Amino acid sequence: MSFVFDASKPIAIGSDHAGFEYKEAIKKWLVHKGYQVKDFGTPSLDSVDYPDYAHPTAASVASGESTFGILICGSANGVAMTANKHQSIRAALCWQTDVAALTRQHNDANIICIPARFVALALAEQMIEVFMETAFEGGRHAGRVGKISCS
């Protein structure tokens, strides 16, 4: 696998209770592949508020502490909306590998958001691999991405 992000930095990961089991499995899978992972929680299946975990995950990516992020919740909408409140974050809800590729190629996404209730774990892992391997195309897309920020 070719890694287009900075492999010297950890991958940030966070979830709510609906994404906890996927988060734990994905974390083990990534560590097994030799990646560093920084887990921002949740630490259990107990019901929690997704912003409490999406914000620190996004902040880690926005600050440059982590190379990119993975957020997981039931639909992935809540974590995506929360992460996208951070100025330099482009969090993308993905449900297919083609979508994961396009969010990198055209949108320079830096957080992948996975809907645990709607995709199988194997597909989630495939999407993460595609996300990690796909470079931003730049060109005409760079201008568009530059218009995303409100500041």
73 catalytic? Reply is yes
Q: In angstroms, what CA-CA distances link 32 with 10, 15, 36, 63, 78?
A: 14, 20, 10, 26, 29
Q: Which residue has the tokens 């010297």?
A: 8
Q: Which residue has the tokens 């630490």?
A: 43
Question: Per-residue DSSP letters for 89-124?
Answer: --EEE-SSHHHHHHHHHTT---EEEEETTTS-HHHH
Q: Which of 17, 55, 94, 106 does the annotation list as catalytic?
A: 106
Question: Per-residue DSSP letters for 63-78?
Answer: HTSSS-EEEEESSSHH
CA dist 140 and 150 (Å) reads 20
94 catalytic? Reply is no
Q: Which of 17, 32, 55, 73 does the annotation list as catalytic?
A: 73
CA dist 62 and 117 (Å) reads 27
Q: Give the residue numbers marked as catalytic.
A: 73, 106
